[in-house]
Amino acid sequence: MREIIFDTETTGLDPKTGDRLVEIGCIEMVNRVPTGETFHCYFNPDRDMPAAAEAVHGLSIAFLSDKPRFHEKAAELLEFLGEETKLVAHNAGFDFGFVNSELEMCGLPPLGRERMVDTVALARARHPGAKNSLDALCTRYGIDRSHRTRHGALLDAELLAQVYVELTGGRQIGLSLAAETNEIEMTVQALPVRDRPFRAPRPHSASEAELAAHAQFLETVKSPLWND
């Protein structure tokens, strides 16, 4: 099963008021295991960068000024995302809203909401009443985020991929090992039994001399328990 874990960085909180997408990072997973395939891109938003947003992700307009516009990379992004692949994000409605806003400006169809998997909703269902930020979940599951000094789309997607595996029950390595063990046992049982010459069982009872020596030893035991 192929899934894409992704995250975005933006100029603000609402595309309807003119905020733009400035970074997207995507991680491909197959059967809950990262394949190593990624898509990562910065975008020139053609507008200013509010100080509050820059403080979160550290992306300045000076840095973004020579980056491609979203429409220049839209086809490449959509090819990576595929047509039916589930798209996993933390607070996914936010990320879907920005990506779909950019697609709309390009005259392209939006990402279907039926593809959306929201890890915030998964975390709330699994840990009701607990903090469910990405940082909090990394702490809960012992995921190292010491290298995360600021938000970054690809870095956050990498962390989220690990969190997502934990939220969905882990990789269940034990079950796969059990299946492999059963296969080995079935293979061993299926091996043909070779013809072997019959050997009579060897006697293991004590000889008369051994019995006498044992009785003599017991006589030397003082206050034996078996006499109580």
Amino acid at 224: P
40, 151, 204, 214: the active-site residue = 151
Is residue 151 annotated as part of the catalytic site, yes or no? Answer: yes
Alpha-helical regions (H) of the chain: 51-57, 61-64, 70-81, 92-105, 119-126, 134-140, 153-167, 173-190, 208-218
Quick one: DSSP state of residue 193? P
Amino acid at 164: Y
Side by side, the strands of the sheet bearing 33-42 are 33-42, 21-30, 2-10, 86-89, 116-118
| Active site residues per annotation | 151
